Amino acid sequence: MSTVTPVSTSTSQRKKVTTLTFRQKKERGEPITMLTAYDYPTAVAMDKAGIDSILVGDSLAMVVLGYENTLSVTMDEMLHHARAVSRGAKSALLVGDMPFMSYQVTAEEALRNAGRFLQEAGMDAVKLEGGRDRAEAVRRITGAGIPVMGHLGLTPQSIHQLGGFRAQGKTASAAKILLEDAKILEEAGAFSLVLEAVPARLAEYISKQISIPTIGIGAGAGCDGQVLVTHDLLGLFDRFTPKFVRKYADFHTEMNKAFTQYIDDVETKRFPAIEHTVEMTDEEWNEFISKK
């Protein structure tokens, strides 16, 4: 840890983004910005940059915890990371992603787990995957005053049913079901809806057919907002990058360079240098040596 006085990072606090802000942005045709975060420093940086919303996504399982897919991550793991994000972001609307099996068994369990995201982790809302089969859970959670974001299209918690990470809604019949599900979720009380990996013309059509904002990921520019997995955007996740991602940085390569340089510096004794060391006066040193 450096002891150098940090440059002041304090700025005047932005107004808190709420579900009402989401609705107003849709009405005004202003794109809603959302990214995922799983830790304190990322949340601080995003909030400072002016992001509308932060999703503590269950993508945590893959991009941070190294699991094969999103199915293994638990409520406790999600809450642990959600707490760190809420300590860092004060203005963005914070959405906790409900992990696999935390909301599918009963609506009561769904409500209890949704409540934990607000009560124990400082989230403002929760997100869950699925359409008509989740309507009861959405009703139950929103009935308790907890805002719910839906998620349709490629729903990673159903990869085994979908046959892998594949685009959805590409046939007329699948598109019809997707539109129906979007309307069902709206009717059940969802305040917003993620549309993942669906044809752009379908996402745009659905966005116009419902009053709640759609947040697209791999769903084209016709959605009311956009979300990306931050580790994809930063080039931090090395296993694969989905086609719909724009990489804004290559942090994996940068990290590799930095670690290689550090190892080399230590091995060749170029680090630590004199400016990284703590001094002791000659007087104290001589006293120490003489009393040895």
Provide the annotated active-site residues.
196
Cβ atoms of 230 and 35 within 8 Å: the answer is yes
Nearer to ligand KIV, 243 or 281 (CB): 243
- Got the DSSP string for 214-271? EEEESS-TTSSEEEE-HHHHTT---S---TTPPP---HHHHHHHHHHHHHHHHHTT-S
Length of the chain: 292
Least separation in angstroms between residue 149's CB and ligand KIV is 9
Q: Is 284 left (phi over 0), alpha (psi -120 to 50) or beta?
A: alpha
How far apart CA 78 and CA 100 sit, in angstroms, is 11
- Which residues from 6-35 bind ligand KIV, rule CB under 6 A? none
- Which residues from 218-237 bind ligand KIV, rule CB under 6 A? 227, 229
* Site map 148..187 versus ligand KIV, x via CB under 6 A: ---x------------------------------------
Least separation in angstroms between residue 42's CB and ligand KIV is 13
Residues 6+ apart with CB under 8 A from 154: 162, 165, 166, 167, 168, 196, 197, 198, 218
Decide: is 97 part of the binding site for ligand KIV (CB under 6 A). Answer: yes
Least separation in angstroms between residue 156's CB and ligand KIV is 7
Pick the piece of the chain touching ligand KIV (CB under 6 A) from 12-20, 51-59, 164-172, 264-272.
51-59
Least separation in angstroms between residue 249's CB and ligand KIV is 18
Nearer to ligand KIV, 92 or 257 (CB): 92
